[in-house]
Structure 1
Amino acid sequence: MLRKWARFMVYKLNDPAFLENPADQLARMRAEGPLVRMKIPLLGTMWATTTDEATRKLLKSPDLFRRDPGPITGRSLAQKFWWLPRVIKPMLHTMIVTDDPAHARQRRLVEIAFARTSIEDMRPRIEAIAHRLLDALPQTGPVDIVAHYTRQLPFLAICELLGIPESAHAALTRRIAPLSAVSNPITAVYAMARLGGVQRDFHAMFARARAEPPGPGLISALVHTDDNGAKLSEEELLSLTLLLFLAGHETTVHLINAGIVALAGDAALTRHFINTPDTRHLFVEEIMRSTTPVTLTKPMFAAQDTDVLGANIRKGEMVAALLIAANHDPDRVDAPQELRPERRPNAHLGFGFGPHVCLGMQLARVEAVTALTALFARHPDLRLARPPGWLNRAGFRAPGRVVLDLRR
């Protein structure tokens, strides 16, 4: 019965009404069932979870729901999405779209490399980046804080983590700029096509790292990491570096922007944030839960016909975890529509869950707390100069623009 009538329901993750207040649509989806059918631009029709229980069940069942459709359907991701630009094909081999044992091997090697670079040790350098950017803010008129601050800080931080030299920053910034303007399939394909230059830059960095002894930065660590003779191939190095570079700053931009918008619109909340430094990390966790900048995971594929909480999913069908549904599930979260700056407990799924949980979540947390702390320490009375709107991109929920009156 669920399969019959669910096909006629229409749910849009980039509908302005949903972005402004997801409660109504999420309630309709939950009323239909723990999983519903929906259509996602570029990806097609798939099942999506609507509850915390269903989302966790999906994400902790990697043997039943696979990232690589090849062994299940006979068509790899590259074949399924044959129309993608050639330069984006390395992203179809990253560990977020691979299964064990390949996923476990790549993740283990990345974790070994990560262990050599302490995220907490980076905090003073991230703070220095924040203050340098704030020093350079325009002194008059409304300030586009995204262009001048919130996009640059995570970019410079991930460059610091990866060990990307300053001489490469300008070219990389120019080449990834179209990604921030993606609003439809045409702009998405154009933005992806521009990644060719980024890939060439990274190949050159790998070659330099191999020719030198192990040095600072994650690229050098990845190149030289050896786990009992296992090393990353050139293709794996490229896909992992692209993943860390792109996901390592794009999502954090949205998290910081959401935090700024929430604080700028609420003087009492701003005072609380400024006056209780020991709970700022809780505020960031609540912004991640409440906003859920990445609303949907990459699709997975059912390895066999299966029943998930009453939904009859056929072998090969796509299924995705709707993270925002889990984060706003009233059966799991008390008053999910309320923004509670010290919410405890807060077991949100904004960074994912299970074996594919976000590798960069600790860096994102440090960046967000640092960015918000530095900005509001200097400009405690800042306000929005115009309504922020919402980013028009399916799968994301984040402010579309953040223009501030800094009230110096």
Structure 2
Amino acid sequence: MSINEKDSGYKVIMHLRYSELTNKIYPPAFYLSRPKIRAIYNVTSCDEVIDCVQLPYFKEPKATSYPLDLNKGFDQFIFRRDAEPYQLLNKVQKFVLESEENVLKLNASQKTQTCASSSTSCPDKQSALEPKRKQILTTRGFLARIMLTPYRLKGSEYNSMTFYATRYCGILHLIDSNYKMDRLKKCSYHSKFVQACYSDSPDLEPNTNVPVDENNIIFSIYQTTLKEFDLIYSAEIQGIISDHKINDIHNLDEINECRFVLTKLLPEKPIEDIFDHPKCMLFWLQSYLTNVNDIFIGVRNLDGVVNTPVQMKRVQDMPKNRFWQPHICIRFLHIMLSLVEETMAKVDCPYTTYEFKYDCYAKCIKLKIHNGKSEYSLLSEEYIKKCKERTNFK
């Protein structure tokens, strides 16, 4: 370790080796269970998280719509504000606070298992043979960034990442450092393209004459499992394909049967297969984590104009014949979640934050600890109180 690294307060806790991380011989015998939507929220331009939501409906641009000029209305375009670390968990915290069901009960129940009678096998004996359930509250962005890591070992500022963890009442709360976007015209093209592909109703065409405000966002809360980990995370969604309007956004049985889609925009590149584009691995991960089966991809030129029709791609086809493999991404996610859990096993503080840094130049994971309340603290006071009550953690 260099003097600068030592002075920065980081210590190395794990070295990453490409040959080990991308070993294709031993795929894991586990995958994510199918992610289920547990709630849908609208984050308004005033940064309020509300449950009054109107789902957008995908409408493929008509042939007469091309070329699509994504520069239209840029003078009124509103870029997304940079978020503070504590704001990234506000959606999952709201879900925990307002859910009628105690979504933290799995954590609480670990402490109350007893034998019902001497004539039956004791659950405690069975649980001793199985990993204890471990609960994680996080964001899709964090999960996707971690899953990309085995294929981002080349030294560059773009590949490095930092994420933060707080362990309280036995629950891990995880976020990655928020990416600061450039506010250049080309950075507005994707949101303008999305506006051209979605409508407020299945019977209406998209309205591209209103300003785009990137601060008005729809999020879903998802729940899934990965081996011994129970994951609850927020993810931005774009819309659905449907021939009828969804009137009850709180009917989760109906919502989970909806055909959610993603809409992506790529710059023109001299490649035969659009799936060879480097961003397509991220697109697959985002889809996998939100149970999306279809992606609609637009291709723009350097001037921000889409001249060719949108391409519909099946998510299940994306990993075929690629240099990257889904099971390697999934295996590394489990490795990292286990590392964080083991590193913080004795921590129980709502304010202390562990800062994990992936240094792609040194090919290692580093750790720095921020003890007590600080600018890195992630949890709201209201959530801290509710978490203690609902887990009965001692």
Class of the TM-score when normalised by the shorter of the 2 chains? under 0.3
The TM-score, its normalising length taken from structure 1, stands at: 0.25
If each structure's helix is expressed as a fraction of its own residues, which one has the higher value? 1
- Tell me: higher relative CO, structure 1 or 2? Use CA pairs within 8 A at least 6 residues apart: 2
TM-score using structure 2 length: 0.26
From the two aligned structures, give the one with the greater strand fraction: 2
